[in-house]
Chains A and B, each alone.
Chain A
Amino acid sequence: MKLGIKTYFLAALAIGSGLIVLLGYFVDFPLLADLRATFLFWTVVLASFLLLVGAFNLLRTHLRKLKGPQPAGIYSLVLLLSFFATLIALSIEQFGLFGASGWSLWTMRYIVNPVESSLMAVLAVVLVYSLARLLQRRLDTFSVIFLATTVFVLIGAATFPDLEIPALRAARDWLVQVPAVAGGRGILLGVGLGAVAAGLRVLMGADRPYGG
């Protein structure tokens, strides 16, 4: 495959900026540390702009849906109205216009928190349903171990009046602190090694997810 000059330029930009930041982690050199801090500051600012692009795309998609077949358009209208109402209210509050205050707290307390905790609450029922389906559809050794561990840990954590079994609690603690830690640590190390491999592929120019 023939690579154009644009590809080389983009790869050089990604590799150069990445190597400066990576070296800043491991090499104690003031100029590198300064450059790394500056690049990370720019990245934070650029990540903010990326979020703005994401929000803009979301709005554009729902504006497009508004013109499409109903009732999907009604949901998009609800989203757009709630977006602009919140945007106007919070902007007025944050920039101290008209002496407005407490609107962001109101939004958090009466819209965001109730929906978040209700979704979490619904999860309690949905999880039981999903676990029952798992037992129905895929009853093998590992799903039995998975479910038995969940039930055992939940029972071990519960407090029953006049029924305290120290051995049960000790067994639960051992399960959480030894085999579960081993499995969790294996997964974490696997994720870490995967991240290193993926990152190094980008820094070597083998992967170019930015295009070009």
Chain B
Amino acid sequence: MALSDLLGVFTGLLLTLFVFSYLLGDNALFRIAIHIFIGVVTAYLVVMICVSVIWPQVILPFFSGDPNQWVVIIVPLVMGLLLLTKAWRRFSGLGTPVAAFLVGVGAAVAVGGAVTGTIFPQSLATINLFDLRAIQAANQNVPWEVMNGGIVLVGVVSSLIYFHFGVRASSSGVVERAAWIEAIARLGQVFIAIAFGVTLAGVYSAALAALIERWQFIVNLIFSFLQP
């Protein structure tokens, strides 16, 4: 094993033990590991941004590209430099128009992405559960699949209604949701609880796999040094 790898294995072991020390409560070793991690990841991110985006997309074309492309490149470069002024309160106003541009484009991407990437595909997937031809073509049990489709439809609608927070004041002056919305929302809450339960089971499985991997790493390392 090369010296750098040996050093690396011990660094990994130390950091693993430091993080595991959190199980005894928040302590200095855990905080040191986390601060090292944040420092390293931030530096990694900074270098990757410079090497993968700013250097090849903005700086290099400016020096080696054709002058016609300069307009496309110089605008984000100037806007980027203006955005950097956001770090100083005195000059931060210079970066506000750039922030407005970013917010506008971001809002448009969010709307476009939500419509084309979530609302349409998810609605279509729910509708397609009742496609009898597709169910028959897949040699599936039609009544069973239609019943499942019905459950999914009821679950989707009731989960959506759970997030409806429109309220109205009743004659007694109490502000609350309509009784029928409240009843459907309770059904939706059951579906949401099941969805979160399944998600938690997935996260827990992944966490357990990570725990086993780390434990195996420590045990293997100790045995590799104990064996002659």
Q: What residues of chain A have their CB less than 8 Å away from a CB belonging to chain B?
A: 9-11, 13-22, 25-26, 38-53, 55-58, 60, 71, 75-76, 78-87, 90-91, 94-95, 102, 104, 106-125, 127, 142-143, 145-150, 153-154, 157, 174-193, 195-196, 198-200, 202-203, 209-212
Given the contacts A45-B58, A79-B39, A196-B115, A14 and B100 also touching, CB distance less than 8 Å: yes
Given the contacts A78-B35, A186-B188, A203 and B111 also touching, CB distance less than 8 Å: yes
CB of B107 within 8 A of CB of A185, answer no
CB of A111 within 8 A of CB of B211, answer no
List B contacts of A147 (CB < 8 A).
Answer: 197
- A10–B153 Cα distance when bound, in Å, is 43
CB of B46 within 8 A of CB of A87, answer yes
Out of B51, B79, B122, B211, which one reaches A189, CB within 8 Å?
Answer: B122
Q: Which residue of A lies closest to B49 (CB)?
A: A48
Besides A16-B104, A188-B122, 12 other CB < 8 A contacts? A17-B108, A22-B112, A43-B106, A48-B49, A51-B45, A57-B87, A121-B211, A150-B198, A178-B148, A183-B196, A185-B152, A189-B160
Out of B28, B111, B195, which one reaches A196, CB within 8 Å?
Answer: B111
B171 within 8 Å of A (CB atoms): no
B140 within 8 Å of A (CB atoms): no
* Residue count of chain B within 8 Å CB distance of chain A: 115
Q: Interface SS of chain A: helix, strand, loop or mixed?
A: helix
Return the CB mask of B163-202 against A: 1 if under 8 Å, else 0: 1000000000000000000000000111111111111110
- A52–B86 Cα distance when bound, in Å, is 11
Q: What's the minimum C-beta distance from A179 to chain B, rounded to whole angstroms?
A: 5
Given the contacts A13-B100, A190-B163, A125 and B151 also touching, CB distance less than 8 Å: no
Out of B19, B54, B105, which one reaches A119, CB within 8 Å?
Answer: B19
Given the contacts A146-B193, A188-B122, A46 and B83 also touching, CB distance less than 8 Å: yes
B134 within 8 Å of A (CB atoms): no
- A22–B113 Cα distance when bound, in Å, is 10
List B contacts of A146 (CB < 8 A).
Answer: 193-194, 196-197, 200
Given the contacts A76-B35, A78-B32, A145-B197, A17 and B192 also touching, CB distance less than 8 Å: no
- A10–B193 Cα distance when bound, in Å, is 43
Given the contacts A40-B105, A49-B84, A110-B8, A122 and B40 also touching, CB distance less than 8 Å: no
- A69–B33 Cα distance when bound, in Å, is 20
Q: What's the minimum C-beta distance from B191 to chain A, rounded to whole angstroms?
A: 4
B37 within 8 Å of A (CB atoms): yes
CB of B79 within 8 A of CB of A203, answer no
List A contacts of B8 (CB < 8 A).
Answer: 106, 109-110
- A190–B41 Cα distance when bound, in Å, is 33
Out of B9, B40, B204, which one reaches A82, CB within 8 Å?
Answer: B40
Out of B22, B51, B104, B160, which one reaches A94, CB within 8 Å?
Answer: B51
Given the contacts A10-B100, A86-B44, A196 and B119 also touching, CB distance less than 8 Å: yes
CB of B111 within 8 A of CB of A209, answer no
CB of B198 within 8 A of CB of A52, answer no
B132 within 8 Å of A (CB atoms): no
CB of B100 within 8 A of CB of A212, answer yes
- A6–B23 Cα distance when bound, in Å, is 53
CB of B76 within 8 A of CB of A186, answer no
List B contacts of A107 (CB < 8 A).
Answer: 40, 44
List A contacts of B199 (CB < 8 A).
Answer: 184
Given the contacts A9-B97, A117-B213, A121-B214, A110 and B12 also touching, CB distance less than 8 Å: yes
CB of B105 within 8 A of CB of A49, answer no
CB of B118 within 8 A of CB of A84, answer no
CB of A118 within 8 A of CB of B105, answer no
List A contacts of B7 (CB < 8 A).
Answer: 110
B114 within 8 Å of A (CB atoms): yes
Out of B33, B38, B75, B197, which one reaches A153, CB within 8 Å?
Answer: B197
List A contacts of B41 (CB < 8 A).
Answer: 112
Q: What's the minimum C-beta distance from B217 to chain A, rounded to whole angstroms?
A: 8
